[in-house]
Structure 1
């Protein structure tokens, strides 16, 4: 009896120690999560607070987290700038049309690479993977774009960047996970490769395509370096180039173009104008991401757990 009692006590003590250790671990995890949330959320709150605070409070450096005062005059001044809306329209064209072309060509490239009977499958996989680590570089790329006559044209922001080899590999892996029987049955029914791709492969990898669409769209939306290289005309430049000019070069030009002079211009902080432009440029992505969140989770977890 005594030995049984001792074993029970020992079991209870071990159980309590494990529970206590799990609680400490959970507390540490939650602390780290809260720290990560604060570190990532603070810049957003700070930028928004600066953009809607009064110009006097911003100039004196009184805004640290929450807005002080409430003014939207700077938003009105920035939105009167015609170049902002021209840049927005260019970004919309480059993002929507460019992302669509990216997804189409990624599927076209990934499908044959996922088919085991394709005789060039291994060789092409090697060459595609090779380009992920070694590229021609900036100067050869510039020479190709200018040699094709794409400089200062909208196609310079679309055609040279139709594919991402990394995304092709992701799409290829998703298509490889589709049961081979589906492809064989479709072939027996008389379907060609294009019909199999459109009616079978693409519908079955929608979560992955949603993730790739988000990756491509964000990359297209944030692209300013290629526009800086290939677009010399201001009327063709995207929103990120406008934002770069505002942040780095001269945000006071916005005040002049909006007709804000004298006391009205003096009341506006240059820093505040910059942060207003950041908020305006960030809003579209923040508005779209929640609608793709469920697909993002499914796509990123695809293949992580096998049933």
Structure 2
């Protein structure tokens, strides 16, 4: 790694917060999750190096984004998900990212793309989870799997999860996307460190809350807003997928409306079809909109520079 040049450390803040989520997940699900996460990281990083070499590009610190993406993928999976399938998804994420040009030209979140790929390939395995606090050894046969709390909420519009269990992630779901308290802390840290787009994050959260008031999922509007944020990977996606600086519009003003749009569309899909984790799917489908906004930002930037140049020339004359 001596030839890796340090250009930015956005990936570092992501990895630190994702590591915290991974540690807590390992306490809940044991060595099976640790092994799954390790395989995702190893496969992603190796694939990143190989693909960079094949395309005759230089290794930079941005290659370490593959580790952050791999950790996101592992945290979005059931702790007992097939390691082979997860490895294939990680390879898919890295290859697709580099085909479009890597970090500087990332169109959609690699983790989100991998999740959609798994959803189309292994839907039944992806949406079935072990009971919370049930630890499995590597290779141990899983006795029983359950629907997630998000599935129950989408179908029935109610849940019996207490606020304390909700904050601590003590309910059935993807291992790292349900630890609400730690996700909230991660969001604050990443916003303060400028590791994510604050505008996109706020847009996603506000959009979800507004929709929860307009089309409440429960009889209690406050409960509707609370569970709409905590279920269906909404908070996790708002932090790590929608607000990813590689894909979100650069200016917070535009990023806010991008997040708002994604939240509104995903909420409508959940309300009408009960599609679990719809926000991840919408983030991939909304990629052209984000790309269009980024192109608009570039044109505005070029126009501003041209105006500044003309003003400078006028002053000199």
Relative contact order, CA 8 A, sep 6+: which one is greater?
1
Question: TM-score with structure 1 length normalisation?
Answer: 0.27
The structure richer in helix per residue is: 1
Question: TM-score with structure 2 length normalisation?
Answer: 0.26
